[in-house]
Amino acid sequence: MLFEAIAHAEPLTPISSYRATENRLRHYERLRVWPERFLVMGDAVCAFNPVYGQGMTAAALASENLRGCLAKQKDGLNGLAPRFQKRLARINKAPWMLATSEDLRFAGTEGAIANRRTKLMHRYIAWVLQPATRKANQARLPSFLMISAKGSILSLAGCFCQTEKQNRSIT
């Protein structure tokens, strides 16, 4: 499918490379003293290897978090920063777990060892991605994971995408 989509495409920009490809998470929410009215978000808090394509989504979720915190703020901006950082840490847990657990597939990855939950996640991700290698009219994407802030699997919900002519549905 991808080949068919880009076979006749022309690049818009020159090819560029990434030098910082490691996943990086900073725990600002754990600081005992936080400068008032100072927020940290985006790659400054949680940066992903670009191969996973999660950085922009994580930044968008951080922006939604900020909007939600600002909407609930009653006393000027006092207390906003630590509350925002704590909520952001919870938001970043799921994409962080997905990215770092995928790294554990590769020999030579330093750090954690793939546990039972991680191996289950590997099998599930492979199962979800396998239909993406078929033609669009043959693809039926299976269920998707809902992950809690602690990274445990909450449920499997039905999810499928049909051909472009038909409606997409998530149940």
Pair 98, 154 in one domain: no
> CA nearest 59: which of 45, 73, 79?
45
Residue with tokens 């009219």: 137
- The answer to whether residue 12 sits within a structural domain is yes
- The answer to whether residue 2 sits within a structural domain is no
Q: What is the pLDDT of residue 40?
A: 95
> CA nearest 36: which of 80, 89, 102?
80
Which residues constitute the domain of residue 74? 7-114
CA 87-88-92 angle, 5° bins: 125
Q: What is the pLDDT of residue 30?
A: 95
> CA nearest 119: which of 141, 99, 104, 97?
104
Q: What is the pLDDT of residue 147?
A: 43
What pTM, to 2 d.p., does this model score? 0.63
What does pLDDT average to in each consecutive run of 10 residues of the chain (171 residues)?
84 81 90 91 91 86 94 89 95 87 80 82 82 62 44 34 31 33
Tokens (6 digits) for 155: 């449920």
Number of domains composing the chain: 2
Residue 154 phi, psi (nearest 5): -85, -50
Q: What is the pLDDT of residue 89?
A: 96
